[in-house]
Amino acid sequence: MKVTEIFEAKKKTGKPVLSFEIFPPKKEEALKNIDATLEKLCDLHPDFISVTFGAGGSTVDNKTVEIAKKIKNTYGVEPIVHLTCLHYGKEEISGILKQLEEAGIENVLALRGDVNPNIPVKYDFQYANELVEFIKTQGNFHISGACYPETHLEAKDAITDIHNLKRKVDAGVTHLVSQLFFDNEAFYRFYEKTRIAGISTPVEAGIMPVTNKANIERMVNLCGASLPKKFERILKKYENNKEALLDAGMAYAINQIVDLIANDVDGVHIYTMNNSKVAGRICDGIRNLI
């Protein structure tokens, strides 16, 4: 099923779409555990699960398609396959799309991807909208894209970023997933701007539950998300108490999601990142809201 159809069906129920994100583990050992993780995540009945793509290098070692197939065929959940294009060329992307078509996987998330200084850039694509245009020529895929409630770090300003987002939507993106954020007001302001710009696709809110301080700091540096005062106080108070920080992080994420749902958000995308325990705790907290 295409993601657009999932949004249409969910809209009729008055409930938001719920999705998770996972990554193919790098270590052989973790790869063995992925089945147990997938089983637990799929037991929570998300509407779809997105699977990240390597930053670059060999497409042969890339486990993304294999994991997406498992999500679809073994667990009956719809997968979305991320595709990044800075470090891949047209032929490689085309090859992966062929594999997806053969596997009956219809949904992709077209990303430019982060710059990896250790891998040479291929110059077939510079921005995600170019990847979207290329995918359009390669088959009948539903294409999702990323968006930035607090503006992409490399963008000149917020207006330019929204104009670039509109270009990406005009190229064929029909669903947006937001970068992670901790301040819902920033998301609401951004959502309004997308409507003013003439973007009418559903926008899912990206929520990253705090599991440890180092991880959050790394992600905040990479994404440029602002930290509200009340969130900073939590991080500071519990930075040396792993269990307490996890409890507080769960409560914060659940609180954010409850507020988003109360404000009729189209969907919530949880950056669960292979942590089924965290996904389970969050779903427990919102069981009657979704």
Ligand X SMILES: Nc1nc(=O)c2c([nH]1)NC[C@@H]1CN(c3ccc(C(=O)N[C@@H](CCC(=O)O)C(=O)O)cc3)CN21
* Rounded-to-integer distance, Cα 187 and Cα 67, Å: 31
Using CB under 6 A, which of 151, 179, 184, 256 touches ligand X?
Answer: 179
The closest alpha carbon to 180, from 237, 106, 99, 260, belongs to 260
Our CB check for ligand NAI shows the closer of 175 and 245 to be 175
Instruction: State the minimum distance, in angstroms, from the CB of residue 164 to ligand NAI.
Output: 4
Q: Does 26 bind ligand X (CB under 6 A)?
A: yes
Which H/E stretch holds residue 84? strand 78-84
Instruction: State the minimum distance, in angstroms, from the CB of residue 88 to ligand X.
Output: 15
Reading the block at residue 9, the tokens are: 């069906």
Pick left, alpha or beta for residue 37 (phi over 0 → left; psi -120 to 50 → alpha; otherwise beta). alpha
Residue with tokens 């404000």: 263
Q: What are phi and psi of 109, to 5 degrees?
A: -110, 110
Catalytic annotation on 204?
no
User: What track of x and - describes contact with ligand NAI for positions 72 through 101 (by CB under 6 A)?
Assistant: ----------x-x-----------------
Q: What are phi and psi of 82, to 5 degrees?
A: -75, 145
* Rounded-to-integer distance, Cα 1 and Cα 80, Å: 11
- Residue count, binding to ligand X (CB under 6 A): 13
Our CB check for ligand NAI shows the closer of 161 and 266 to be 161
Instruction: Tell me the CB-side half-sphere exposure of residue 139, using CA atoms within 13 A.
Output: 18
Residues 9-38 that bind ligand NAI (CB under 6 A): 21
The closest alpha carbon to 67, from 85, 50, 55, 45, belongs to 50
User: What track of x and - describes contact with ligand NAI for positions 132 through 171 (by CB under 6 A)?
Assistant: --------------x-----x-xx----xx--x--xx---
* Rounded-to-integer distance, Cα 52 and Cα 111, Å: 10
Residues 212-231 that bind ligand X (CB under 6 A): 215, 219, 222-223
Using CB under 6 A, which of 47, 271, 276, 279 touches ligand X?
Answer: 271
User: What track of x and - describes contact with ligand X for positions 239 through 268 (by CB under 6 A)?
Assistant: ------------------------------
Our CB check for ligand NAI shows the closer of 78 and 161 to be 161
| Burial track 252-263 (b if 16+ CB lie within 10 A, e otherwise) | bbbebbeebbee
Options 21, 78, 92, 204, the catalytic residue: 21
Q: Which does 175 bind (CB under 5 to 8 A by kind): ligand NAI, ligand X, none?
A: none
Residue with tokens 């982060």: 114
CA distance from start to end of the chain: 20
Our CB check for ligand NAI shows the closer of 62 and 179 to be 179
Our CB check for ligand X shows the closer of 76 and 206 to be 206
User: Which residues are catalytic, by number?
Assistant: 21
Footprint on this chain of ligand NAI (rule: CB under 6 A)? 21, 52, 82, 84, 111-114, 127-129, 146, 152, 154-155, 160-161, 164, 167-168, 179
